[in-house]
Amino acid sequence: MSKYLKFLDLGNQPLANNYLRKDQLIKKEKKYRLKVGINNESKLVSIEKPLSSKIMFNQNYPYRSSMSKTMIKSFKNLSDFIKKKFHPKKILEIGSNDGSFLKNFSKKKSIGIEPCSNVEQITKSKGYNTYSEYWNKNTAKKILKKNGKIDLIYSANTISHIQNLDEVFKSINIILKDNGIIILEDPSLLECLKRNTYDQFYNEHIYVFSLIAIENILKKHNLEVFHIQNLKIHGGSNRYFIKKKNNKIKIDLSVKLNRDKEIRYGLNNLKTYRSFAKRVQKSKKLLKKLFMKIKNKKKIIVGYGVTAKSTTVLNYCKIGKKYISYFVDTTLDKQNKYTPGTRIPIFEYKGLDNKKIDYIFLGAWNFKDEIFKKEKNFIKNGGKVIIHTPVPKII
């Protein structure tokens, strides 16, 4: 019988993307207990108690994939690859956000599904065919009726947000052509464990996938992975290329290599997760110590890029306004609000002034390279950077 085995407790957490307006500060926020575990049969790693999609993904969703040059470039490169390799006549994106991926394809060919109507409207306003719906069988049937079958389905950082994975793939099977391709992209569990990025877990990230778990889910739906790309995106992601079993495309070596790598690291073994949990507890202590040491010297620390991931770190490590004076972020919908749980003010990013800021804490550590390039003058002039992965340190 399959069992869910808990291995990590990240404490009481607020909704990770629920940035608070000033008038909301008088109210107590709803918190939930963030625990992580693994299914002993499917090896699927998930948070213990997922919240309802409607609470998390609605017309107030603040995330915009267009906020990072890294993402824009990655979407453009993948789109070029898709056009060259698969020549899709019709392409569907599940979780199309503000259209950063679809904009690389012609409007006639593309369909976007995005339940958060505020971001869905951005893509629609550019002339794209979008639906403000959750991905399920009803949505698949509705789209099938209006648009016919689909050649290629893409979904980045979305499937890990949907609790019912069987419904996800049943819905995909309703609409995908027999020779159609699915491309899924999500943070890699192996990289998460290796880099100690426990902040990949928050209420929206119900799952962090391994290839092992993905294969166990897919086989119930007559689907299989035929190619994998390991990406640097979001601190290490996997891009899974998936086909129907009766499609004759060859399964290439990348699949076996990735599977072997995961098995060698011990992703099949509960012991691996228990030692990860110990490293996470140690990381919490070290990060707090680092902040205390800096603050004792009366230095000013500013958060850089407020992310759902940083909500997990700050609330788990209990790092609040005492340590971080404020956050800066380029996303309009996060500005002039407060971080969930820790209630640190968030301001518009207007560059970093060495006279006013001694340290930045990288909330958006997943865009470290991009940020280091952008802030080379701040660093050259003595500005320091705090990062919590793979171990808390000052760069």
**C-alpha 33: how far from chain center:** 20
Smallest separation, CB 345 to ligand TMP (Å): 14
DSSP E strands, the chain:
4-13, 32-39, 45-47, 91-94, 110-113, 129-131, 150-156, 176-187, 207-208, 223-231, 237-244, 301-304, 326-329, 337-338, 345-348, 359-362, 384-387, 393-394
Smallest separation, CB 123 to ligand TMP (Å): 17
Q: Report how far residue 237's alpha carbon sits from residue 69's, in angstroms, rounded to the nearest whole number.
A: 17
Residue nearest ligand TMP (C-beta atom): 305
Q: Which is nearer to ligand TMP, 17 or 258 (CB)?
A: 17
Q: Which is nearer to ligand TMP, 150 or 308 (CB)?
A: 308
150 SS3 class: strand
Q: Are 237 and 188 in contact (CB under 8 A)?
A: yes
Residues 6+ apart with CB under 8 A from 360: 301, 302, 303, 304, 352, 375, 378, 383, 384, 385, 386
Q: Which is nearer to ligand TMP, 241 or 378 (CB)?
A: 378
Smallest separation, CB 364 to ligand TMP (Å): 4
Give the footprint of ligand TMP on this chain (CB under 6 A).
63, 67-68, 305-309, 329-331, 334, 349, 364, 366-367, 370-371, 374
Q: Which is nearer to ligand TMP, 312 or 366 (CB)?
A: 366
Q: Which is nearer to ligand TMP, 181 or 360 (CB)?
A: 360
Residues 6+ apart with CB under 8 A from 129: 107, 110, 111, 112, 147
Smallest separation, CB 20 to ligand TMP (Å): 15
Q: Which is nearer to ligand TMP, 265 or 347 (CB)?
A: 347
Smallest separation, CB 62 to ligand TMP (Å): 8
Smallest separation, CB 329 to ligand TMP (Å): 4
